[in-house]
Amino acid sequence: MSKTLIEDALAILRDKYMFPDKAEAAAAVIEADLAAGEYDGLSEEELGERVTARLFEVCADRHLRFRVRAVDLQEAGETEEDAEAAWNERQRLTNYGIQRTERLAGNVGYVKLTGVTSPGNGGRAIAAAMELVANTDALIFDLTANRGGDPDGVQMWNSYLFADSETHLNSIYDAATKHTRDFWTLAYLPGQRYVDKPVYVLTSGSTFSAGEEFAYNLKALRRATLIGETTRGGAHPTDQFPVSKTMEITVPVARSINPVTGTNWEGVGVVPDIALAADEAFGHAYTLALRHVVETATSQLVLEEARSALEK
């Protein structure tokens, strides 16, 4: 059973991975392991872990994984349509990755994102979250538990922080089509934009993929102050390919190219402007935001609220 699973996974790897030479080198290593009986008697979870470790040894790509499929995907089926339907339902049930949106004391906005939804699924939720914080004087995005998502979703979130459609956020090169797509700030957004006010982004060693792009774009454009830990380091957009009902291989099929830096965060992560332990990042960001409010507030109500929050 494991032999068939591995052979099918390696066929997908050779066909889809954006670095063909690395795909061939990794496949050769794993085939040698298979011939030597290295994967005999392993459970599917153990098999996934062992093969993924070997893939990383050769390719050093954190998006390249062989693993047990999520239960909802197993129940949905093996076709692309089945997987997409299950993903859409997961997005709905997790509120499109928007875990918290609130106005903190001192008129500071706070949005905690555990994922980045596609605008087609969660665009209305993104707009609603931004509307709730639109009238705050500073904004904190908490990405410390963000595991990634959709580049189009990053584009929409980031677009709220710029005045118009004239800002180039990111580019993605697709290996199959050899086409580079440029992501610019959107010309139209539902609701108000959040401009000319400070933005803070909290990161951790677990922040990954599209969560990292969210932070990297804003850092490169100097639109936000990043506070926390260096992120995990996965910059290659990825597709998931079922190998069986219970196993899948995730394969990077493209790569990000930032227009400011000319590179991306693959393997190195996004380095924060202010390095702190992840559990200390919020307190520091909130303090900076409150100090800004105290210095700039024109409302006595907000000023008193910010001063009181700072004292606490």
Q: How far is Cα 181 from Cα 254, in angstroms, rounded to an integer?
A: 10
Read off the amino acid at residue 143.
Answer: L
**Hey, which residues does 108 pair with through a beta bridge?**
104, 138
Q: How far is Cα 46 from Cα 39, in angstroms, rounded to an integer?
A: 9
Phi, psi of 132 (to 5 degrees): -70, -25
Domain ranges of the chain: 2-72, 94-234+269-311
Instruction: Give every residue of the chain whose pLDDT is below 50, as ranges.
Output: none
**Burial label, 134 (beta-carbon count in 10 A; 0-12, 13-18, 19+):** middle
pLDDT for the residue 76: 65
**Hey, which residues does 116 pair with through a beta bridge?**
149
| Helical pair 278-296 and 300-311, crossing angle rounded to 10 deg | 150
pLDDT for the residue 77: 65
**Burial label, 11 (beta-carbon count in 10 A; 0-12, 13-18, 19+):** middle
Let me know the angle formed at the C-alpha of 215 by 212 and 218, rounded to the nearest 5 degrees: 145
pLDDT for the residue 78: 63
Q: 94-234+269-311 adopts what CATH topology?
A: 2-enoyl-CoA Hydratase; Chain A, domain 1 (3.90.226)
> What is the chain's alpha carbon radius of gyration, rounded to the nearest angstrom?
21
pLDDT for the residue 1: 61
pLDDT for the residue 81: 80
| Helical pair 119-133 and 80-93, crossing angle rounded to 10 deg | 20
User: Alpha helix locations (H) across the chain?
Assistant: 2-16, 20-35, 44-59, 71-76, 80-93, 119-133, 151-159, 210-220, 278-296, 300-311
Q: How far is Cα 47 from Cα 212, in angstroms, rounded to an integer?
A: 28
pTM of the model: 0.93
Model confidence pLDDT, tens digit, residues 263-302: 999 999 999 999 999 999 999 999 999 999 999 999 999 9
CB neighbour list of residue 287: distance below 8 Å, 6 or more residues apart: 310
Residue 153 contacts residue 184 (beta carbons within 8 Å): no
Reading the block at residue 287, the tokens are: 């303090």
Reading the block at residue 218, the tokens are: 């804003």
pLDDT for the residue 160: 98
